[in-house]
Structure 1
Amino acid sequence: MKTEDTKLPKDVQQPEAVSENTEEEIAAQLEEETSESSEDYQEKRPLWPDVPWTPIAKKNRWSFSLFLVVMVIAALLGLKALTIVRNRPSSEETETVALEAQLPVKVIQVKTEPIQEWVFSDAEVRASRFKHLTLDVAGTVTYIKDVNGRNLQEGDYVRGGELLAKVDQRKSDQDLNVSKAQVFEAQQQVETAKASLRQAQNQLVQAEAELKQAETNRDFAATDLTRYQELYQEGAIQRREVEVKATDFKNAQTTISAREAAVKSAQDGVTSADAQVKAAQSGVSSAITQLGRTQLDREDTEIIAPFNSQVAHLNITEGDYWTPQRVQPSGDYQSITESVPIIVIDPSSFDIYAQLPAFQGISVKPGQRAFVILDQDQSKASSGKVTSDDLIKLAAARGRVESVSPSVSPGARSVEVKVQITEGAANLQDGSNVSVWIAVEERNEATVAPFNAFVFRDQIPYVFVIKEEDGKKVVEQRQVAPGIEGISKREILQGVTPGELLVTDGKNRLVDGAPVDVVETINER
């Protein structure tokens, strides 16, 4: 910025050059003048005779002399300051000198590389497959699986279908035997009912056959009666013979009625026997159902491994008295794990459950990459001194987002995110606390620069780019369009090209076009 030279008003006399006398000479001269003035002052009288006159005390004379000395010195200093102001170079000359001075800076080269935007949160590791194994029957624990001559312990591996523990089964065995006996008895009743049904069916067949024979006999009797009546009309036989045939016909009809009644009775017997069979079969079904309940009750006295797994928690020992009331399903998860008899997990597969703030949860989508940092490495990951590559190398496991809850928890105002682990499951432990980092946005080829290469002025991002002008290095201030913001770098969508050098250190003193001296080019790993 240019400034005008300082000029004095025309009516003000320019001061003469300051005397080169030493301070001792000036002080002596002043003392002499002061002494003379004080002597003259003592001899003078007031111009008005009527006013009383009192000579000035010696102490007051010295104070007055000191005041005069101070005033003279102040005047000399003011003249000297005025001379310095007149001889000072103009602001334009000062700015020119400043611009010509090369400011030392450190620079870094713009690169093209992958970049990720991250969200992270504390999380909990849970086995993908687990089972809480409990005993629903109260009793004394009489068996714990033997492993190499010792009882089962936490960390032991078990096979699916193996018996792990059981309580006293004497009562359940008795109930089971009773149920089996009831089933057998019901089955015998079914067989008896079926035999009765078969007998009734045979009786029905016999009755139907007798009815058919009676109908045949009636037909023959009717034929004989007709023929005898014709012979009687011709006079070939006596009337008495006709009456005998008429009696035979009536007897045949009476036999048919009896046989029809027998068939009806046999049919009723079949129906009754069939109902008895069905009732007996229903009794069998009821007995079998009761047997199933008894078997389930007996199974509740045992703990069977549901799949090939590892014992994560074991809360019973042989000889303990177990009761289902020991389990507290409404308590926190810690109390549950400490009360359930046995918990088994599949140690080959884990999921990560994290609670993200709602404003971050909206950017998380299924399929996004996720990296798990162990608790002991969390401080390093959050130090702000690591890059995305460092974070990925630091991760003990990695996976992908499997699901994102569509609802926000009322209390914490957070969203639950589930991550399925695809690599590094062996480095995780069920129930451990970790942190999960999710790459919510990624670009494999991005133009990037470190955070310290950016300056913000009125909330607009700029960078200082090194350029060559007349054989000298100068900076050009450029506005840039930022993109993905990583851990230590930011993407530049527009404004610079890969290979250009950006100022990272010393940029706060720069202006557009300022000459610089590149003292170091930072080489990143």
Structure 2
Amino acid sequence: MNKVRTIIVLVVLALVGFGAFRAAQVISAKKEEKKTGMSPIPLVDVAQATQGLIEERILRTGDIIPYTQVTIYSKVQGWVENINVREGDRVKEGQVLVTLDIREAEATVGQAQANLEAARARLQQVRATAEETVQTQIQQTKANLDLAEADLRRFQELFDKNFVARQQLDEARTKYNVAKATHDLALNSLRQKTWENDLALAEAQVRQAKASLDLVQAQLQNLIILSPMNGGVTKRYVDPGTMVKDTTPILTLMDLGEMKMVVNVIEKEFLSLQKGQPVKISVTAFPDRTFNGKIEIINPALELQSRTAEIQVSIPNPGFLLKPGMFGRAEILLRSNPQATLVPIQSVVSQVNEDFVFVLQGEKVSRRPVHKGVVRDTVVEILQGVNPGEKVVTAGQATLKDGVQVRLSLEPKK
């Protein structure tokens, strides 16, 4: 403590001594003016323009929020049977969160499975017997045709010998024609494969039964609600026994492994930003720690009234230190110049529509307009008007004009 007090006293004495020295210089100059009757040569302080790194950064504030957040709903109406998680629990993708009453749905699935098995059995039967049945019909009709043809020949011979009446011959011919037509029909069925219609119908019945089973199985799956992501349960809205609909919220999940900040930037800043650009994040809860983020999304359009654009900064949060709702500060680098020309900020004189400095050239000063860049702490970047190594006036500019002779009060500051 005594050492600190000693340092403070020494600093104060140094400042007082410097002030007394400057005052003595001014008094001496006034005495010289009275003695000679001429205006004294102005006393100035100068410093050397340097070359170095300067960065333009912006600071924006916003709330820390989860990068991914979802609210869980049921796709179907039903009674809640089980809820397997509570607020604060960690969950994994695919984990069973909620189960609705599934007894009725399971019975429906069983009936649909039975219908599918029956349809498949019928299809198998049709495939096995369809062509075989047609072949059997052909054999039977061929036998009937052969018999009718033999009867017709026999009755024709008997009629020719006048042993039978024409009526009997006509009856035999009619039976032959019927048998031939029946056999031709059976042959045509074989050629056209008419049994394929029965086969197609059986196959369609199998597809219909399979679709019905898929539907009821999907409905059964909808009664078992799985987690869509890794994260944590931040809100539970219902308890077992509650009747829920597709509009009833059940749980809210947040992925706390990655957070984000949404901030706004003005038009000039917006043009300097790029996706993936690093961002430094700090929060009040951890004043001595910085979190590394990056620009994830840049809204391509400016908001018309405010002329600002929204950007999203993603922040990895592996230790879950950042919590939703924390107040964050985002520091974003807009521009960096490692070879900037830098001068003390007090060397730049600002007037209406013009900034200028006085540059020491020999024993005189030259008034030069300058274009300023980034202002950082005690220095300012000069984009045009001064070169590194030149000496600029840092004190005493008030009475200076272009080309006047000056005296240095101190050695130039570097």
State the TM-score, normalized to the length of structure 1: 0.56
1:162 paired residue among 68, 76, 95: 95
- For structure 2, the residue ranges without an aligned partner over 5 or more in a row are 1-31
Cα deviation code 1:436-488 (max 9, x no counterpart): 3333333332222343331123422222334554xxxx654333333455576
Say whether 1:295 aligns with 2:185. Answer: no
Preserved CA contact (<8 Å) 1:187 1:280: no
What residue in structure 2 maps to residue 345 of structure 1?
255
Q: Is the 8 A contact 1:141 1:322 kept in 2?
A: no
1:39-83 deviation digits (Å, cap 9, x = unpaired): xxxxxxxxxxxxxxxxxxxxxxxxxxxxxxxxxxxxxxxxxxxxx
Q: Distance in 2 between matches of 1:368 and 1:442?
A: 17
Per-residue CA deviation, residues 311-358 of structure 1 (Å, 9 max, x unaligned), is 15133475584745886xxxxxxxxxxx762313051x344322234x
Q: Confirm whether residue 355 of structure 1 aligns to residue 355 of structure 2.
A: no
* Mapped partners of 1:452, 1:438: distance in 2: 27
What residue number does 1:445 align with? 339
Distance 1:445 1:421 in 2: 31
Q: Tell me which residue corresponds to 1:142.
A: 82
For 1:71-110, what aligned pairs fall within 5 Å after superposition?
96-97=39-40, 99=41, 102-103=43-44, 105=45, 107-110=46-49
> What's the CA shift for 1:510?
4.2
Counterpart of 2:358 (choices 455, 464, 467) is 464
Aligned equivalents of 1:511 and 1:425: distance in 2? 62
Residue deviations 1:111-158, cap 9 Å, x none? 32233334443334344444333445454563334xxxxxx442x443
Match of 2:282 among 358, 374, 377: 374
| Aligned counterpart, 2:61 | 122
- 1:465, 1:477 within 8 Å by CA — same for their partners in 2? yes
- Report the Cα distance in structure 2 between the residues aligned to 1:185 and 1:258, rounded to whole angstroms: 37
State the alpha-carbon separation in 2 of the partners of residues 519 and 288 from structure 1: 95
Check conservation: 2:141, 2:183, Cα contact below 8 A: yes
Assess if the C-alpha contact under 8 Å between 2:346 and 2:394 holds in 1: yes
Q: Deviations over 1:284-304 (max 9, x none)?
A: 0342243134224312xx3x3
Give the counterpart letter for 1:131 in structure 2: V
Aligned counterparts of 1:443 and 1:271: Cα–Cα separation in 2: 82
Q: Report what 2:72 is aligned to.
A: 133
Change in Cα spacing, 1:468 to 1:368, as seen in structure 2 (3 Å) is: farther
Residues 405-448 of structure 1, C-alpha deviations (whole Å, 9 max, x = no match):
23333565432122344799966444433233333333332222
CA contact 1:116–1:439 (8 Å) conserved in 2 = yes
The letter of the residue matching 2:388 is P
SS of equivalent to 2:346: helix
Distance 1:144 1:251, change over 3 A: closer
Of the three residues 182, 206, 209, the one matched with 2:136 is: 206
Q: CA deviation at 1:204?
A: 1.0
Asked if structure 2 preserves the Cα contact closer than 8 Å seen for 1:455 and 1:461, the reply is yes
Mapped partners of 1:124, 1:95: distance in 2: 66
Letter of the 1:437 counterpart: E
Q: Tell whether 2:385 aligns with 1:498.
A: no
Residue in structure 1 matched with residue 368 of structure 2 by the alignment: 478
Among 18, 27, 50, which residue is 1:111 paired with? Answer: 50
CA contact (8 A) 1:119 1:360 kept: no
CA distance in structure 2 between the partners assigned to 1:340 and 1:504 by the alignment: 68
Tell me what 2:13 maps to.
none
Among 265, 274, 298, the alignment partner of 1:404 is: 298
Q: Give me the CA root mean square deviation.
A: 4.8
Which range is displaced more, 505-514 or 287-296?
505-514
> Which one has a larger percent helix, Structure 1 or Structure 2?
1
Structure 1 residue aligned with 2:5: none
| 1:182 maps to amino acid | A
Q: Which has the larger radius of gyration?
A: 1
Deviates more, 1:512-521 or 1:440-449: 512-521
Work out whether residues 144 and 318 of structure 1, in 8 Å CA contact, stay in contact via their aligned partners in 2: no
Question: 1:377-399: CA deviations, max 9, x gaps?
Answer: 99x9xxxxxxxxxxxxx882344
**How many equivalent residue pairs?**
374
Residue by residue over 1:147-196, the C-alpha shift from the partner in whole angstroms, topping out at 9 and shown as x without a partner, is xxxxx442x44333222x325x33x3322322331232243134235424
> C-alpha distance in 2, partners of 1:321/1:95?
100
Alpha-carbon distance between aligned partners in 2 of 1:113 and 1:119, rounded to the nearest angstrom: 20
How far apart are the structure 2 equivalents of 1:108 and 1:371? 35
Q: Distance in 2 between matches of 1:210 and 1:161?
A: 63
What's the counterpart of residue 148 of structure 1? none
Q: Is the 8 A contact 1:139 1:323 kept in 2?
A: yes
Distance 1:498 1:324, change over 3 A: farther
Alignment of 1:280 onto 2:241: no
C-alpha distance 118-161 of structure 1, shift in aligned 2 (>3 A) = same
- Cα deviation for residue 517 of structure 1 reads 0.9
SS of the equivalent of 1:396 reads: strand
Q: Report the secondary structure of 1:490's partner residue.
A: strand
Q: 2:184 aligns to what SS in structure 1? A: helix
What is the distance in 1 between the residues matched to 2:94 and 2:366? 75
> Does the 8 A contact of 1:179 with 1:294 survive in 2?
no
In 1, Cα distance between equivalents of 2:315 and 2:144: 88
Q: CA deviation at 1:277?
A: 0.9
Aligned partner of 1:313 in structure 2 is 234
Higher relative contact order (CA 8 A, sep 6+): 2
- How high is the sequence identity, in percent, across the aligned residues? 14
Unaligned runs of 5+ in 1: 1-88, 146-151, 233-238, 328-338, 381-393
More strand by share: 2
Q: Distance in 2 between matches of 1:298 and 1:514?
A: 90
Letter in 2 for 1:372: K
Q: Which residue of 1 aligns with 2:182?
A: 258
Q: CA distance change for structure 1 residues 188 and 216 in 2, over 3 Å: closer, same or farther?
A: same
Quick check: 2:78–2:245 contact (8 Å CA) kept in 1? yes
Task: From the superposition, tell whether residues 211 and 94 of structure 1 become closer, same or farther in structure 2 (CA, over 3 Å).
Answer: farther
Q: Which moved more, 1:173-182 or 1:309-318?
A: 309-318
2 CA distance for matches of 1:91 and 1:141? 104
C-alpha distance in structure 2 between counterparts of 1:90 and 1:468, whole Å: 23
Matched with 2:25 is none
Given that 2:348 and 2:355 are in contact with CA atoms closer than 8 Å, whether structure 1 keeps it comes out as yes
Question: TM-score normalized by structure 2?
Answer: 0.69
Is the aligned partner of 1:517 residue 2:409?
yes
